[in-house]
Structure 1
Amino acid sequence: MNGPRPPPAVLQTPGFAHFAIAWSPFHATRIALASAANFGLVGNGRLHLISVVPGPGGALNVNLDKHYETQDGLYDVAWSEVHDNQLVTASGDGSIKLWDVVLNNLPIRAWQEHTREVFSVDWSNLKKDMFVSSSWDGNIKLWTPERPRSVLTLQAHHSCVYQAMFSPHQPDLVASCSTDGTLKIFDLRAPSYVPAGPGVNTFTNPISAAVLTVPASGTEVLSLDWNKYRPFVLASAGVDKLAKVWDCRMIKLGETGGVGGACEVQLLGHEFAVRKVQWSPHRAEVLATASYDMSCRVWNTVPAAGRPQLMYIHDPHTEFVVGCSWSMYDEGILASCGWDSRLNVFRV
């Protein structure tokens, strides 16, 4: 916030509201953008592939390189951790599609197991052949691109699961958040995940044993993220307009798993629901949030004495801001997207 900054680089895609953005883990300048017509209520979707080009004086420019049309709106996107040209999308019709950016028009694979909207996808950076999806049908599913069906189904919350993510520290831990106001952590090594016998699989017999349940809010929890440097620390955000930081080592054991999690920090400032949280990949204490109040904010969760938690407010958007994502190669660059059909890439 010291001195002038270059204006954000802006990409406008008329007719398509944006739901999620993801930077490539392989290419420093490549972004994928998941979008939907009519704010995702009805109509088709579009996957945009974008390159960010540095300009003079620290300025940034964005170019639309390619886009793919889909029959239903896209709610999330995740890059493969194995193939630098592949990525997976989550769709409102319950489908999941795998794309190769070298090819045109059609996905290279598609899966249709979820019975309602798929709202999130996340690729494991440890088990690099695995990704996870979550859906409004209440289920979390684990996948590998080589198989025609899911590897595992977790019947997580008995309500809409807004997001599910692999831990960046432990390859067998998955966290989720839901309309029921909880965060749940699943350990895929737990005995309950061992198939019960011939013919029994988790596609027809889902399992639901969370090792930890965190009562995070009295309302819906819309987003979560694992801290990249502190293995058992999660951020959550939702309808209560707060972003919260949880230490999940605080567990009270019960018959059906642990309950607990200590809230380290509450970040108050957004005027409406917080739709997305993401920890910085460069600094353990820095968190970005995107909100229905049309702003994207950056916070220091452990500020020095006398310093504010709120570091930066980005508010050029004119509609709900529903996605934000840090560049993995440049510490100061953040991207935001919203229902105003704008993608903004800017320096914090």
Structure 2
Amino acid sequence: MAEIAKTFRVPRRHGYAVEMSPYLTSRLACATSQYYGIAGCGTLLVLEQTESGISLVRSFDWNDGLFDVTWSENNEHVLVTASGDGSLQIWDTNNPMGPLQVFKEHTQEVYSVDWSQTRAEQLIVSGSWDSTAKVWDPAASKSISTFQGHEGVIYSTIWSPHIPGCFASASGDSTLRIWDMKTRGTKIAIPAHQAEILTCDWCKYDQNFIVTGAVDCSLRVWDLRNVRQPISDLSGHSYAIRRVKFSPFHRTVIASCSYDFTVRFWDFSKTEPLLETVEHHTEFVCGLDFSLHIPNQVADCAWDETLKIYTPLCLSCPS
């Protein structure tokens, strides 16, 4: 028995990131690039999930590839994308004319963007191939802080859902770093893998748990109170792990997607942590997200020009 997936096809666009709306149950966004992100332009797709499938609400084109997308946490119509030309774009789904604002300070590709989730602030963090992370106030015309310390490309920057002014970054220098806005520096530097780290995510239920995914095909779960070794080392992917996400409904459930064309679901509290392997793409799977509204529903996107929404069997059946 296979998952029943709704599919949206994007001709001549390759999916890099997907994020479900924190406000609207049925809405999601997908950042895509032409020619696999190596050349050409990018398109932001705003999509609506219906009973019969997935429909396009609006699309926005940019003159370079789009590699990541995040929804505003204070306006259901606003999104931010990260681009290969070193810029971030702020879009409004009610304004089809183009971006409301463009931030351009990074000197190389921006590969990651995230909007803070804590109520005390409304800030954006970006991570770039120029080895810097920058924090932006959407109301300001330039970045408010630049964070330096990584010795390689930054692939992932994620705000803590628990601690204001705290974010994590994952880099090609094989380290995971935790940063603090108050001190404007690294709080913790963890040599998390012996390979490039492409992705990280925070546990939604415990401020001390964070997961990393790397080119060595492994996921590692870390407890920030003791980082000498991971509390869980998850293996099963056969190529680099492109994105990891903690479930918003289960404390120890993680989803990962990979260049091996699969999405895998894990529960690191179990003796046999691999719950399920989903094989419904024919190219690199780059984007992945859990719905915040519909328990255990997942969206993913890949270089095979498709986006899929489904509930994995391992999470749809009672344990």
Is the counterpart of residue 150 in structure 1 residue 126 in structure 2?
no
Contact 1:141 1:152 in 2 (8 A): yes
Is the counterpart of residue 302 in structure 1 residue 277 in structure 2?
no
Match of 1:51?
48
- Which of 35, 39, 60 is 2:36 aligned to? 39
CA distance in 1, matches of 2:167, 2:153: 16
Contact 1:236 1:245 in 2 (8 A): yes
CA distance in 2, matches of 1:211, 1:128: 20
Structural mapping, 1:193-342, within 5 Å: 193=184, 209-250=185-226, 260-303=227-270, 308-342=272-306
Q: Which runs of structure 1 show a deviation greater than 4 angstroms over 4 or more consecutive aligned residues?
A: none
Match of 2:126?
133
User: 1:40 corresponds to which letter in structure 2?
Assistant: G
Task: Tell me how far 1:5 sits from its aligned partner.
Answer: 5.2
State the secondary structure of the residue aligned to 1:39: helix
- Which of 14, 24, 31 is 2:21 aligned to? 24
Task: Tell me how far 1:53 sits from its aligned partner.
Answer: 1.6
Structure 1: which 5+ residue stretches go unaligned? 56-60, 194-208, 251-259
Contact 1:179 1:222 in 2 (8 A): yes
Contact 1:249 1:261 in 2 (8 A): no
Q: Highest CA radius of gyration, 1 or 2?
A: 1
Contact 1:247 1:261 in 2 (8 A): no
User: 2:239 corresponds to which letter in structure 1?
Assistant: F
**Change over 3 Å in CA distance of 1:54–1:261 after alignment to 2:** farther
Contact 2:247 2:296 in 1 (8 A): no
Contact 1:69 1:105 in 2 (8 A): no
TM-score by length of 2: 0.95
Match of 1:104?
96
User: 1:263 corresponds to which letter in structure 2?
Assistant: P
State the secondary structure of the residue aligned to 2:36: helix
Match of 1:344?
308
User: 2:19 corresponds to which letter in structure 1?
Assistant: A
Q: Deviation digits for residues 192-244 of structure 1, max 9, x if unmatched?
A: x3xxxxxxxxxxxxxxx311111111110000000010111100001000011
Contact 1:120 1:134 in 2 (8 A): yes
Root-mean-square deviation (Å):
1.2
Is the counterpart of residue 175 in structure 1 residue 168 in structure 2?
yes
Contact 1:90 1:120 in 2 (8 A): yes
Q: Deviation digits for residues 55-104 of structure 1, max 9, x if unmatched?
A: 5xxxxx21112111110000000000011100100000001010000111
Q: Deviation digits for residues 278-330 of structure 1, max 9, x if unmatched?
A: 00011111000000000001111102x6xx31112211100001111000011
Sequence identity percentage: 35
User: 2:107 corresponds to which letter in structure 1?
Assistant: T
CA distance in 1, matches of 2:202, 2:176: 12
Task: Tell me how far 1:133 sits from its aligned partner.
Answer: 0.4
User: 1:20 corresponds to which letter in structure 2?
Assistant: A
Structure 2: which 5+ residue stretches go unaligned? 313-319
Deviates more, 1:155-164 or 1:93-102: 155-164
Q: How many pairs does the alignment contain?
A: 311
TM-score by length of 1: 0.87
